[in-house]
Structure 1
Amino acid sequence: MTGELQGKVAVVTGGASGLGEGLARRFVAEGAKVLIGDIDREAGAALAADLGADAHFVEADVADIEQVSALVSTAIDRFGGLHVMVNNAGVSGTMHRRFLDDDLADFDHVMRINVRAVMAGTRDAARHMSQHGGGSIINLTSIGGIQAGGGVMTYRASKAAVIQFTKSAAIELAHYEIRVNAIAPGNIRTAIVRKSATGEDLQKLEQFEAAIREQMRNDRPLKREGTIEDVAEAALYFATDRSRYVTGTVLPIDGGTVAGKAIVRKPKSEKPN
């Protein structure tokens, strides 16, 4: 590790597991002090203990924007400032076989977490950064917000909203030297799909996940599997001065999926003797 975030303070929402955990670990390894916010008290406390004195966990539900504000103020009070805000917390929503069967009962819940919390986190972090020389705000979206497709329609709509908001906030906050960028992971194995499959038994879920991942793998130009570490590397770039002239961008971490489907090349036939 290179210590690129030495002296920096970061907040990572949804930081107790999955992508958020990977980002928190990488940031601490690079010298940052990290406040981890999550609803999972046990996992969050365990992660903070594992990371040591440079990490602190706060139990928070980002569906309540007052708790988002508390994460920002706690980071400032505990560590003396805020330089990087990662709005990572998100939910997929209930999965349905067809959009025609979707009762939209989870719409408000998904939008509160995936959109409103991102807006609140950006706003609250920017209020501090605007008075202290700027900073970096990183919003987690998804290739589902870039590329149209069937299934989890509310989730797709929420992630598309994050992209438009990120670009708009980047334009307005540039005056204060605040950079706002988004990362769009694709086919990174985390528990978000598993958590969304309410009412499905484990075997059916595993079969569903396997089928979806196989299709994505076949369509993806790069055949290596994406990892949480790949996303953390992108977040590190946006968090550091290496991206000081970069704002309003959306970076897919997806093996080329949104660029287009893989080209299937047939093996060359052997020449006759």
Structure 2
Amino acid sequence: MGRVDSKVVIVTGAGNGIGASSAHLLAREGAKVVVTDIDEAAGTRVAEDIGDNAIFVKQDVASEADWANVVQRAEESFGPVAGLVNNAGIVGPNDVALADLRDEDFQKVLQVNVYSVFKGMQSVLGSMKENGGGSIVNVSSTSGLVGSVNVTSYVTTKFAVRGITKAAALEFAEHGVRVNSVHPGGIRTNIEVFDAVKAATPLGRIAEPEEVSNLILYLISDEASFSTGSEFVVDGGFTAQ
């Protein structure tokens, strides 16, 4: 038996990196996976690699209509949603001081990194109630725990993900829906592979996406049945310093 047998799980930003790794792992452990990404080619490839236990739905996570479509497609294809991995995100402008950050760039990162998490949780709640409960994993960052220079929009949004996770966990508990945040450090993905982070990490290396998706699998599974509103850090000791 798999650890998430027959659970219907939506994974956003699943065309690559942590999202792709999580989609594959969840499917191997028995889940029915809805792979979403704004990159149609990448998302389709992941769903096709998984096979019959996955479908791909193109999604702009900052679109309310797209969220409604994703949940509808999940229910039509597999049944009520049991899990959501809010993984999609962008860094935004790098090496830009707060004083020089343009409004439009700041707003874009807010839409992709925060609004998407809010709308995703709001959109799946009804389906999870029908399912009899569920688990939501919001992917934040170590930048949601400590500050970083010249990435103001990213730090702002990742702290917001941490906060909205706790608020939702308290509100959704009565419905048997757990909500937790995951905080990766330096991960070998298309978003962040920073030499400075590697050098500052006590374990002395960048992590592989699978080292985060293993934790995500645990949180989606019933093994984490008493964990909600919590922060799970995967950073090689970076924030312990």
Match of 2:185 in 1: 186
TM-score normalised by the chain length of structure 1: 0.85
Mapping of 1:235-250 within 5 angstroms?
235-250=216-231
Looking at structure 1, the residues matched to 45 and 201 of structure 2 have their Cα atoms a distance apart, in angstroms, of 35
SS of corresponding position for 1:151:
coil
- The runs of at least 4 aligned residues of structure 1 exceeding 3 Å deviation read none
Deviations 1:208-244 (A, max 9, x none): x6xx42x322322222431100111000110111100
Verify the 8 A CA contact 1:136 1:178 in the aligned structure 2. yes
| Cα shift at 1:73 | 1.7
Deviations 1:96-136 (A, max 9, x none): 34333222321221111100110111111112112331100
Match of 1:19 in 2: 18
- Matched residue count: 241
Which range is displaced more, 84-93 or 215-224? 215-224
TM-score normalised by the chain length of structure 2: 0.96
Mapping of 1:114-263 within 5 angstroms?
114-193=113-192, 212-213=194-195, 215-260=196-241
SS of corresponding position for 1:183:
strand
Q: 2:203 is matched by which residue type in structure 1?
A: L
SS of corresponding position for 2:130:
coil
Q: Which has the greater radius of gyration? A: 1
Q: 1:30 is matched by which residue type in structure 2?
A: E
- Please provide the CA RMSD for this pair: 1.4
Verify the 8 A CA contact 2:170 2:229 in the aligned structure 1. yes
SS of corresponding position for 1:182:
strand
Looking at structure 2, the residues matched to 72 and 86 of structure 1 have their Cα atoms a distance apart, in angstroms, of 13
Match of 1:4 in 2: 3
Verify the 8 A CA contact 1:69 1:120 in the aligned structure 2. no
Verify the 8 A CA contact 2:7 2:30 in the aligned structure 1. yes
Looking at structure 2, the residues matched to 35 and 80 of structure 1 have their Cα atoms a distance apart, in angstroms, of 11
| Cα shift at 1:75 | 0.5
* 1:95 is aligned to 2:76: no
